Structure 1
Amino acid sequence: MFTAARAPQLKTVLLASGLVLTLAMGVRHGFGFWLQPISQAHGWTRETFSLAMALQNLMWGVFGPFAGMAADRFGTARVVIAGALFYMFGLLWMALVAQPTLFIVGSGILIGAALACTAFGAISGIIGRIAPAERRSWAFGISSAASSFGQFALMPVEQQLISSSGWQNAFFVLAALQVLVMIPMAFKLREPAHITGHGPQQSILEATREAFAYRPFLFLLAGYFVCGFQLVFIGVHMPAYLRDKGIIDPNVAVIALALIGLFNIFGSYYAGHLGGRFPKRYLLATIYITRAVVIALFLLAPLSSWSVYIFACAMGLLWLSTVPLTNGVIAGIFGVKYLSMLSGFVFFSHQVGSFLGVWLGGYLYTRQGNYDMVWGITIALGVFAALINLPINEKEIVRAPAVLA
């Protein structure tokens, strides 16, 4: 039986997972800074690098359920160690490979696998099992805030590394950090086997079938698709979009993306806090419709560095605030035994959206010479996601009682 006294301390788990998420998500959010220097160095169009980023996000989603299964079965620590190694090799691949197809496929698989093993899906299970039910949404908020801190803290570092030492050497430095920071933190994420096994007596296949046969789970999948589309399009294409519009100073994009990370620390934390007090489906719907409004106002307002900063602050409050709420809904409905796996399935939908968002950005820009159509799609999808979250039933699923032999 689960007892808090025998479980790893929640504070230790949150600190270690926070550092893993800080590094994993901080590096990932900064990939947009490499779009122009890599494209110029190799003579590629923006579509080539965009396709590589799109495949990374898609493979992150593809590997997510399997990384979650492994974390639920074998423990989070082993999965994070594997992820740190994948991350290191993926960054080295991006630095050294100049052939477009190999760059796209190799970086897509390696970085995708790395993120699946070190980001929210793999980490969520141990947090959900360690945190008491009444503090679970808050704990998810803390972990989301840590990833946002990574975006805030590491983006200026990444831009400075590129400027001072070149884009290849910047990859080398970040590759070393993966193993030097993540692996020691992974050993803090070990959990006793009895905690991993706590929950309904279901097989992986039974838990998967149950989830996909339950309509609220499908609504979460649809909403998270939109989340991925919006965030990755903005994160990867914002620097290039601003330059196209006449804001040539690269520091504006750096500051904007850092502001998104800074304000998302507060947005994620308070989303998790409010998720323990109010229906999470209403909070999710509010986040999505507000994103649509903020994007529309940004496009309608005269563009300046200050309008970019205001947009970044507003989007930052909404950026990853969906994560603690979505994970909280999953844990509340299905329990925590297979939380990493089920979060991985939902995140796969997120990454399908990410793939389309980043790839369409590059594809439509190449064909039309602007991002106008993609911005319009992000607004329409925000309205759709708000509506699809409203009917979600957050109550614990009713299971038939087990039949004793």
Structure 2
Amino acid sequence: MPDAASPAPASGLSRRAWIMILTGAVIVTLSMGVRQSFGLFLRPVGLDLEIDRQTFGLIIAAQNLLFGLIQPFVGAWADKHGAGKVAVGGALVYLAGLAVAATAANALGLMLGFGVMVGLSMAGVTFVVVLGAVGRAVPPEKRTLAFGIVTAGGSFGQFLVVPAAQGLLDALDWRLTLFVLGGMVALIIPLALGVAGKPPAPSARDGLPLKAALKEALTNPSYALLNLGFFVCGFHVAFVGTHLPAYLRDMGLSGGIGAASLALIGLFNIAGSWLWGAWGSKASKKGLLTLLYALRAVAIAVFLLVPLSPASALIFAATFGFLWLGTVPLTNGLVAQIFGVRHLSALAGIVFLSHQVGAFLGAWLAGVAFDLTGSYTAIWIISIGLAVMATLANVPVREGPVIRPSTVPAE
């Protein structure tokens, strides 16, 4: 039998790999599920603390930006020391951030808890760190599929946690709801054992040392194009996740439809993440990314053109959910395919930073646009244009591994 800590042969996955995939998926389920419920807090928090949508959007935008800014460093640390320690640290900061937000008396307190502390914590308990560990535990031909399974975990969390959070908000208040959600986040601490373990010491054949790998990636045109595409993904996800429930309420639909829409996004992204990941194991990843972004443009355009109703809102949510995070296994799969897995968390962390810059703008600018115009129309139209841009950006990406000299410098 193969060693449990080593990648399995091409015919299957080792027991250790499956433990990493499944516990990693549950970690992402909890961390992303709680985070995706934050859009439900916009109205009750805004009324209680007397803050407008621009301010709430800025807080969520700051969370996204800090999440991205620290991700490359956290990813590099996980590449060197292991994902388990990082996940425990991230969960503890996440818990503290939710507690600070739950006791906030004004926008500043909410910014410290929701914005700063939760933003920093997310870098340790979500995709980049978990996928880096999984990527080293599975053979290359299984990697994108494994990434898809873990990514689906984030969607399953959204499907489970968002309706639960809405029920808690209806039964309790927003402050007690945050404490209950903190209890869910605490479960990440024991689950971190499943992705624990220091990565094996690298040899020269494993790829370049970190500084050289960063230089190689940052001068590679395909890496820049992947960053551009993921920027658009972040804009879409943050805008829709933060503002869709409020948009539907503004248009006369019930709060239940807003919560159901977020839950449907999560439900259909379970299938979407898995299927896009599975397809990426067999077909061109850049071709699939091109198709995915093009379908996003079509989905938003159709949503705006048809009369709004509960049915059209839920259909849009299901459609967009299928396209929601399919970008994650495909983009991370391309980074691993082009540059290898030695510094996967660090290199994917930089791409994720681009995603979070887009998320910052998507969450914040939507609030600015609404406060200035009383409408989200301009941001919906911008979202279509960005989807077209991402579609075109992925066309020239070169999928082949970089060609390096036979010897590489030592660390």
**TM-score under structure 2 normalisation?**
0.95
- 1:1-150 alignment runs, 5 A limit: 4-7=3-6, 9-150=16-157
Cα separation, 1, equivalents of 2:408 and 2:360: 44
Number of the residue aligned with 1:177: 184
Alignment match of 1:219 (pick from 225, 233, 238)? 225
Residue 281 of structure 1 corresponds to 286
Where do 1:373-384 residues align within 5 Å? 373-384=378-389
User: Are positions 1:194 and 2:200 aligned together?
Assistant: yes
Aligned-residue offset at 1:5: 3.9
Distance in 2, matches of 1:311 and 1:198, equals: 49
Q: Distance in 1 between matches of 2:203 and 2:185?
A: 30
- Cα deviation, 1:340-381, whole Å, max 9, x if unaligned, reads 111110000000000000001101100111001000100000
Instruction: Give the drift of 1:128.
Output: 0.4
Aligned-residue CA RMSD (Å): 1.6
Q: Tell me which residue corresponds to 2:259.
A: 254
How many Å apart are 1:208 and its aligned residue? 1.0
In structure 2, the CA distance between the partners of 1:193 and 1:320, relative to structure 1 (3 Å rule), is closer
Following superposition, the deviation at residue 14 of structure 1 comes to 1.1
Q: Figure out how many residues of one structure are paired with residues of the other and give that number.
A: 401
C-alpha distance in structure 1 between counterparts of 2:239 and 2:220, whole Å: 30
Q: Could you tell me which of 190, 208, 213 is aligned with 1:207?
A: 213
User: Secondary structure of 1:44's match?
Assistant: coil
Q: Which runs of 5+ in 1 are unaligned?
A: none
Does residue 358 in structure 1 map to residue 363 in structure 2?
yes
Who is 2:11 aligned against?
none
Which structure 2 residue ranges, 5 or more long, are not aligned? 7-14
The alpha-carbon distance between structure 1 residues 196 and 168, as it changes in their structure 2 partners (threshold 3 A), is farther
Aligned with 1:334 (options 315, 336, 339): 339
Secondary structure at the aligned position of 1:336 is classed as coil
Q: Match for 1:369 among 374, 382, 386?
A: 374
Note if 1:402 corresponds to 2:401.
no
The answer to whether the 8 A contact 1:77-1:189 is kept is yes
Aligned-partner Cα distance in 2 for 1:223–1:6: 34
| Structure 1, 362-371 or 203-212: larger mean CA deviation | 203-212
The alpha carbon displacement at 1:329 in A equals: 0.2
Name the aligned partner's letter for residue 103 of structure 1: L
**Percent of pairs identical after alignment?**
42
Residues 299-321 of structure 1: CA deviation (Å, up to 9, x unaligned): 00000000011101111110000
Give the residue type in structure 1 aligned to 2:93: F
Measured at CA, do residues 43 and 345 of structure 1 come closer, stay the same or move farther in structure 2, by a change above 3 Å? same
Q: Helix, strand or coil for the counterpart of 2:399?
A: coil
User: What is the letter of the counterpart of residue 220 of structure 1?
Assistant: L
Q: Which residue of 1 aligns with 2:10?
A: none
Q: CA deviation at 1:401?
A: 2.2
The residue type equivalent to 1:325 in the other structure is L
Q: Distance in 2 between the 1:117 and 1:255 partners?
A: 28
Q: 1:87, CA displacement in angstroms?
A: 0.7
Deviation at 1:4, TM superposition (A): 4.9
- Matched AA of 2:127: F
**Alignment check: 8 A CA contact 2:207 2:408 kept:** no
The aligned residue for residue 9 of structure 2 is: none
Q: Judging changes above 3 Å, is the alpha-carbon distance between structure 1 residues 307 and 193 closer, same or farther for their aligned structure 2 residues?
A: closer
1:148-163 mapped onto 2 (5 Å cutoff) = 148-163=155-170
- State the 1:173 CA deviation: 1.0
Change (3 A) 1:374 1:190: same
1:237 and 2:243 aligned: yes
Offset, 1:402: 1.5
Deviations along 1:264-287, whole A, 9 cap, x unmatched? 111110101100111100100100
Note closer, same or farther for the CA distance 1:173–1:402 as it changes in structure 2 (3 Å cut): same
Shift of 1:196: 6.7
Q: Is the 8 A contact 1:81 1:182 kept in 2?
A: yes
> Deviation per CA, 1:166-220, whole angstroms, max 9, x where unpaired?
10001111112212x1011101112354167785353322111111011100000
Distance 1:270 1:157 in 2: 26
